[in-house]
Structure 1
Amino acid sequence: MIFPLNPTIRRDDRLTDNEFYAFCQANPDLRLERDENGQIYIEMPTGSRTSIRNLDLAAEVYLWNRQHKAGIVTESNGGFTLPDTSVRVPYVAWVSNERWNALSEIEKDNFAQVCPDFVIELMSDVSEKYTLPAKMEKYLQNGVRLGWVIDPFSQQTTIYRPERDPEVVNFADILDGEIVLPGFELILSDLL
């Protein structure tokens, strides 16, 4: 494990976007995120079951997008720099072609400076039921139009939309991409 931090950087100094990107590149085995205050979070890798579930979810969104050619899909290694300067790595994210194509090639190669239109966060540990709702609220504040927090432990999904209260549905219910991902439907009990 490599932590190439400049020894002249004080604890209260914030890494620039380029420094944070370099830090992440130097530590590819770590899942790193940065909040809007510059605090860096190191998350442990997920277990095998969560990885399988995440791949299944990403594949479903990818297959929908492949048919509709409406944007780009990332999985749990794709980071985004949000308008509040946080860098987040959703389990699955989708960005419309219009917003993705407005980015420069350099922005696309780094942590793209765009908030995804749609995100999925998959609970890998039951304790995340306390942290993921706050994370989803931050996504909404930064421009996410639709988000799902999937809880395989309770077999429920919480749906987040701007300016609406979160809605909880069961895995047997149909999840709908609404106007963000038109025609996208998913029944998690069939998948997970």
Structure 2
Amino acid sequence: MDNITLYLPPSIEITDDQFFEMCQINELIKIQRNADGSLILKPLLGGISSNINAGLTAQLANWNDHESLGVAFGSDVGFILPNGAILSPNTAWIKLERWDSLTEEQKEKFPPICPDFVVELLSPSDTLKVAQKKMREYLDNGVRLGLLINRKSRQVEIYRQGKEVEVLESPATVSGEDVLNGFILNLGMIW
């Protein structure tokens, strides 16, 4: 099943709180919101994609537990970006000082903050062009480092602030660079 984009008439404005509530009662559909207010409906993942997502998140969480420099997230959180979009990367990380600047209420719902680091895994319901657009949107909203992993082509696209996208062919690992100092993402489980 492909992603579905649902366009709403301009007269319907869904607040961040209403959107959060809508997502909670429609738990079998992953819903994201574009900056223009349209909704992206994504089907649940299959076993392979879900397993890979879990492995990516586990690697980041394990590194973060040891370093205690920030907060790691899996694919089940939505972030309210400065442009108004609410997006959910497969894996994300926020520097601790930035996370601690949020109120407890903001942390409980969809946090109004753009992650410092995101990973997107191209799933069978995604197109490369749409995923690349999403990565550019993350960068435009403050992500410092982003990885787009394409299992079919065995490529990783690296997105950095102010730099051209770098494409790696079948890398065994990818560094967290200066954003996640000392973090090495092992991609052996993906290929």
**Structure 2 counterparts to residues 1-192 of structure 1, below 5 A:** 11-12=9-10, 13-125=12-124, 127-188=126-187, 190-192=188-190
TM-score normalised per structure 2: 0.92
Deviates more, 1:125-134 or 1:40-49: 125-134
* Amino acid aligned to 1:50: S
For structure 1, list consecutive stretches of 5 or more residues without a partner in the other structure. 1-9
User: Residue 126 and residue 80 in structure 1: after superposition, are their counterparts in 2 closer, same or farther (change >3 A)?
Assistant: closer
Deviations 1:136-183 (A, max 9, x none): 000000000000000111111000001111000123343110110000
* Amino acid aligned to 1:160: Y
TM-score normalised per structure 1: 0.91
* Amino acid aligned to 1:186: L
Partner of 2:3: none
Q: Is the 8 A contact 1:171 1:187 kept in 2?
A: no
Mapped to 2, the partners of 1:187 and 1:92 lie a distance apart of: 14
* Amino acid aligned to 1:146: L
Mapped to 2, the partners of 1:127 and 1:86 lie a distance apart of: 18
Deviations 1:105-134 (A, max 9, x none): 000001000000000000112752121000
CA shift, 1:62, in A, is 0.6
Which structure exhibits the higher relative contact order, with contacts defined as CA atoms closer than 8 Å and separated by 6 or more residues?
Answer: 2
Mapped to 2, the partners of 1:36 and 1:54 lie a distance apart of: 25
Mapped to 1, the partners of 2:74 and 2:155 lie a distance apart of: 21
- Identity rate, percent: 36
User: Residue 122 and residue 73 in structure 1: after superposition, are their counterparts in 2 closer, same or farther (change >3 A)?
Assistant: same
CA shift, 1:187, in A, is 3.4
Mapped to 1, the partners of 2:56 and 2:126 lie a distance apart of: 21
* Amino acid aligned to 2:51: I
The count of aligned residue pairs is 182
Q: Is the 8 A contact 2:70 2:96 kept in 1?
A: yes
CA shift, 1:26, in A, is 1.3
Mapped to 2, the partners of 1:138 and 1:33 lie a distance apart of: 13
Q: Is the 8 A contact 1:126 1:153 kept in 2?
A: no
Partner of 1:6: none
Mapped to 2, the partners of 1:148 and 1:172 lie a distance apart of: 12
For structure 2, list consecutive stretches of 5 or more residues without a partner in the other structure. 1-7
CA shift, 1:79, in A, is 0.9
Q: Is the 8 A contact 2:159 2:166 kept in 1?
A: yes
User: Residue 81 and residue 126 in structure 1: after superposition, are their counterparts in 2 closer, same or farther (change >3 A)?
Assistant: closer
* Amino acid aligned to 2:173: I
Deviations 1:25-45 (A, max 9, x none): 111111000011111110111
Mapped to 2, the partners of 1:127 and 1:144 lie a distance apart of: 21
User: Residue 126 and residue 167 in structure 1: after superposition, are their counterparts in 2 closer, same or farther (change >3 A)?
Assistant: farther
Q: Where do 4+ consecutive residues of structure 1 move more than 3 Å?
A: none
